[in-house]
Amino acid sequence: MKQFLDKITNNESLGMEEMEVAARQMFEEGTSDTEIGAFLTGLKVKGETADEIAGLVNVIREKSMTLPSSIPGVMDNCGTGGDGSQSFNVSTTSAFVIAGAGVTVAKHGNRSISSKTGSADVLEHLGVSLALTPEQTHEALKENGIAFLFAPHVHPALKRMMKVRKDLRIPTIFNLIGPLTNPVELTTQLLGIYRRDMLERMANVLHRLGRKRALILNGAGHMDEASLAGENHLVLLERGEIMQFTLSPEEVGLPVYSNEAIIGGDSKQNAEILYGVLNGEKGAYRDTVLMNAGLGIFANGKAETVQDGVKLAKESIDSGAALSKLEYLIDFSSRTKQEV
């Protein structure tokens, strides 16, 4: 690791291939926790480049769970977390709405880290398995159009990094890359991030990772979700081209709510909110999901405009399609447990 430590401490950035070599060394038993900690800290102080982020992601995905075969047109709508908003599980709820609109979603997520309840916590409470095999995950994606991939289950090699990150007690490159490490080959993506200054950089990362189309957003109040509290900042990646724009709820026919209106609770409370939205309950939770699901459908390219995406999101909920995606996954999880 010394050559890479020397370089970054001299404020020099690593190329993507160099970062891949350094990242592989991080996962080797001969590399000490101290060296890993120094490397992560050095990257943070210097500022992580798109090449460095993409290089680390490539290596993590090398070491991740592999599905039996690829499925065309899959997307994810995971956020980085870290915004401190304590909101309900917006992207998790939105994932079922996006899937109900006919988009295949490989929902990547974890337990609570910076919020009250992570996607894994609420889905586990609902009865969704966190330990599907690669074959079962592939089947759920193919048959149901949505599956959940629990980060620790699909990334066993990252266990050691968790200890180093905990000992460092500062945000590192790992706080940015969670949504990027989905082991499924993604074509499109909706990525929420708590740092507005990283929008364009993350678009460049997604381009390096092979996304044909992606939408990167930072919501009003610096949420890692689209917010109905005001102006959202977004970057659209379309076949290598990047376009920045802003979007307010009024522009897509949705009301304004404060971010306090969508605060969630524990896994039980958030599960009730999720079920309520998918069952058609009106209010701030539903409208926030409509905005985020609409953006996801637009990011995928199924809708030509965000307004059309919001319309498809409404149809997904009101027709019962979104709820049926969740119910299938709960039933599928139950059946796979009985087979063990």
Residues within the annotated binding site for Mg(2+)?
91, 224-225
**Would you tell me the crossing angle of helices 33-46 and 16-26 to the nearest 10 degrees?**
150
What whole-number distance in Å separates Cα of residue 248 and Cα of residue 246?
A: 7
How far is CA 65 from each of CA 68, 162, 185, 284, rounded to the nearest angstrom? 10, 18, 12, 37
Q: Which residues are documented as binding site? A: 79, 82-83, 87, 89-92, 107-115, 119, 165, 224-225
What whole-number distance in Å separates Cα of residue 254 and Cα of residue 221?
A: 17
The dihedral of CA 161, 166, 168, 173: what is its sign?
A: positive
What whole-number distance in Å separates Cα of residue 137 and Cα of residue 154?
A: 11
What whole-number distance in Å separates Cα of residue 262 and Cα of residue 257?
A: 8
What whole-number distance in Å separates Cα of residue 98 and Cα of residue 278?
A: 11
Supply 208's token pair: 């390096």
Q: Strands of 213-218's sheet, edge to edge?
A: 146-150, 105-109, 75-76, 188-192, 213-218, 232-238, 241-247
Determine which helix (DSSP H) or strand (DSSP E) holds 114, and give its type and residue range: none
Paired with 211 in beta bridges are none
Contact 69, 32 (CB under 8 A): no
Q: Which residues are documented as binding site for anthranilate? A: 79, 110, 165
Q: Which residues are documented as binding site for 5-phospho-alpha-D-ribose 1-diphosphate? A: 79, 82-83, 87, 89-92, 107-115, 119
